[in-house]
């Protein structure tokens, strides 16, 4: 591959910055094959689910690399579903979005990047980042435009854009110790990646507005009582509880999927509306003054502190080893085993496997 193509991919958000059709095609081909940098994925045949673990660095937030990984993963999952041979080997009905950072789901947008772009008054780059976030969240709201269900598993703090990412999924499962909220009000901004639209699908719009304007964090128990969270589980039991949920819903997947379609028809969230709102958010961000940015520093410090304590090698996927894995055809998107090991080829379980 040409060195200049490497340089393009390292410095630009794919594929929005291609100068011409040829460059765009080359960037798309590269994006479709290169490994993820801040995501880990695993296919579980027993629950027919693709597990997606966010592993952002150096801070547990929606930085441009993680957003790019999420966008590329969505495309690969759609391609895998439409590949008959691959789907026969990996039939899935659910995608679960979780976090590898202990105690943190996601702390929102990359505030350090926001601050840099606001100080430079670079509205174009901030808008580019925001639009890419909105496109990824919108695809979650419509289940990647596939007959599947996207689920968020929250095991800790979810703030700002992280809360919006969890809300964009059809089903929210949270451990009891988790907390969520929109702190943007603390530095004179509002959550612009769909918070109001997504909350209004589940609760009264007036209550959604009060939650956003309060700037407060809410416990998982409070959000469950409001109807924001669909399933509340005990600390440390999120993965096991989600597996049980998946198995029960697979037996009634047709009913559940169509009920979610009814909700989307009754409370539609459109991409155009989300983009218009995020453009307002960019305009508002460009008007923040030095006092507002100083207040933003407190949250930047919190993001950095948690990032420094992040245990990158932590394994929070307590899936027991089940049988022997057998090599199959070449895969279309990266997968890992239940042990967190990267699998270079498709594998699946066999009922007549050896005992472990």
CA 180 to chain centre: 15
CA angle centred on 46, ends 98 and 100, rounded to 5°: 20
In a domain, 72, yes or no: yes
- Within the chain, residue ranges assigned H as helices are 3-11, 21-33, 64-81, 84-89, 111-119, 123-141, 161-167, 195-200, 205-214, 220-226, 238-250, 253-266, 271-285, 290-309
CATH code: domain of residue 312: 3.90.226.10
In a domain, 22, yes or no: no
In a domain, 12, yes or no: no
In a domain, 166, yes or no: yes
In a domain, 347, yes or no: no
Cα dihedral sign for 176, 153, 230, 241?
negative
Whole domain around residue 286: which residue ranges?
36-319+331-339
pLDDT (tens digit, 0 to 9) for every residue of the chain, 356 residues total?
Answer: 322 222 222 222 233 344 455 544 544 554 556 789 999 999 999 899 999 999 998 889 999 999 999 999 999 999 999 998 888 888 999 999 999 999 999 999 999 999 999 999 999 999 999 999 999 999 999 999 999 999 999 999 999 999 999 999 999 999 999 999 999 999 999 999 999 999 999 999 999 999 999 999 999 999 999 999 999 999 999 999 999 999 888 766 667 767 777 777 777 889 999 999 999 999 999 999 999 999 999 889 888 887 676 654 444 444 433 333 233 333 445 454 444 444 444 443 433 333 33
Contact by Cβ (8 Å): 340, 314: no
Contact by Cβ (8 Å): 166, 172: yes
- Judging by DSSP bridges, how do beta strands 156-159 and 335-336 pair with one another? unpaired
Beta bridge partners of 98: 53
d(CA 95, CA 147): 11
Looking at residue 20, its pLDDT comes to 54
d(CA 81, CA 92): 8
In a domain, 178, yes or no: yes
Q: What is the number of structural domains in the chain?
A: 1
Looking at residue 169, its pLDDT comes to 96
In a domain, 2, yes or no: no
In a domain, 1, yes or no: no
């Amino acid at each position: 591959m040409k060195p200049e193509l490497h340089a393009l991919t390292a410095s630009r958000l794919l594929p929005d910055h291609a100068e011409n059709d040829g460059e765009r095609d080359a960037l798309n081909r590269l994006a479709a094959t290169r490994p993820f940098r801040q995501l880990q994925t695993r296919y579980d045949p027993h629950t027919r689910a693709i597990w997606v673990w966010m592993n952002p660095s150096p801070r547990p937030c929606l930085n441009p690399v993680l957003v790019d990984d999420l966008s590329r993963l969505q495309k690969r999952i759609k391609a895998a579903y439409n590949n008959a041979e691959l789907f026969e080997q990996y039939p899935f009905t659910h995608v679960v979005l979780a976090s590898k950072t202990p105690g943190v789901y996601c702390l929102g947008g990359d505030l350090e990047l926001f601050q840099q772009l606001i100080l430079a008054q670079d509205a174009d780059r901030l808008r580019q980042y925001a639009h890419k976030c909105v496109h990824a969240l919108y695809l979650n709201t419509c289940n990647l435009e596939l007959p599947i269900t996207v689920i968020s598993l929250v095991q800790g703090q979810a703030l700002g854009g992280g809360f919006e990412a969890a809300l964009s999924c059809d089903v929210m499962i949270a451990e009891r110790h988790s907390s969520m909220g929109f702190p943007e009000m603390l530095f004179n901004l509002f959550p612009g990646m769909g918070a109001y639209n997504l909350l209004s699908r589940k609760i009264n719009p007036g209550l959604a507005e009060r939650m956003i304007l309060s700037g407060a964090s809410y416990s998982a128990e409070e959000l469950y009582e409001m109807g924001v969270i669909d399933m509340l589980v005990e600390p440390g039991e999120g993965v096991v509880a989600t597996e049980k949920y998946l198995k029960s819903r697979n037996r009634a997947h047709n009913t559940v999927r169509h009920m979610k379609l009814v909700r989307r028809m009754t409370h539609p969230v459109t991409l155009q509306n989300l983009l218009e709102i995020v453009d307002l958010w960019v305009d508002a961000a460009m008007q923040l003054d030095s006092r507002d940015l100083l207040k933003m520093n407190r949250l930047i410090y919190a993001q950095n502190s948690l990032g420094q304590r992040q245990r990158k090698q932590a394994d929070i996927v307590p899936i027991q080893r089940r049988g022997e894995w057998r090599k199959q055809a070449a895969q279309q998107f990266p997968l890992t085993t239940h042990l967190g090991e990267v699998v270079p080829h498709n594998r699946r379980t066999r009922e007549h496997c050896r005992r472990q």
